[in-house]
Amino acid sequence: MALQLMKKILTDALKGGYAVGYFEPWDQYSTEAIVRAAEDMNSPVIIGCGALMMNQKWFDHWGMEALAKIGEVIAKRSKVDTCLILNEALSFDQIVLGLKYGFNAVMLDSSHLPFEENMQITKKVVKEAHAAGADVEAELGRLPMGTDKEAGMELTDPDQAAEFIERTGADALAVSVGNVHVRQHGKSEIDFHRLQRISTKVHVPLVIHGTTGLSDDSVKKAIPCGVAKFNVGTALKKAFLDGVKEAVSVIGEDVNPQTVIGSRKKSDILFHACDRISLEVKRFIAMFTDN
The domains of the chain are located at 6-247+254-289
pLDDT at 153: 81
pLDDT at 252: 82
pLDDT at 254: 86
| The amino acid at 225 | C
CA-based angle 152:158:163, to the nearest 5?
Answer: 105
pLDDT at 187: 81
Q: How far apart are CA 113 and CA 191, in angstroms?
A: 22
Superfamily of domain 6-247+254-289: Aldolase class I (3.20.20.70)
CB of 268 closer than 8 Å to CB of 260: yes
| The amino acid at 83 | C
| The amino acid at 267 | S
Q: How far apart are CA 202 and CA 221, in angstroms?
A: 18
188-210 as b/e: b if 16+ CB within 10 A? bebbeebbbbbbebbebbbbbbb
Per-residue pLDDT reduced to its tens digit, 196-230: 999 999 999 999 999 999 999 999 999 999 999 99
Per-residue pLDDT reduced to its tens digit, 89-103: 999 999 999 999 999
Q: How far apart are CA 193 and CA 177, in angstroms?
A: 9
Cα dihedral 233→184→242→231 (10° resolution): -10
pLDDT at 122: 98
**Which residues of the chain, if any, have pLDDT below 70?**
1, 146-152, 184-186, 291
Whole-model pTM: value is 0.95
From 291, 290, 282, 283, select the one nearest 42 (Cα to Cα): 282
H or E segment and range at residue 248: helix 234-249
Task: Specify the DSSP class assigned to residue 99.
Answer: H
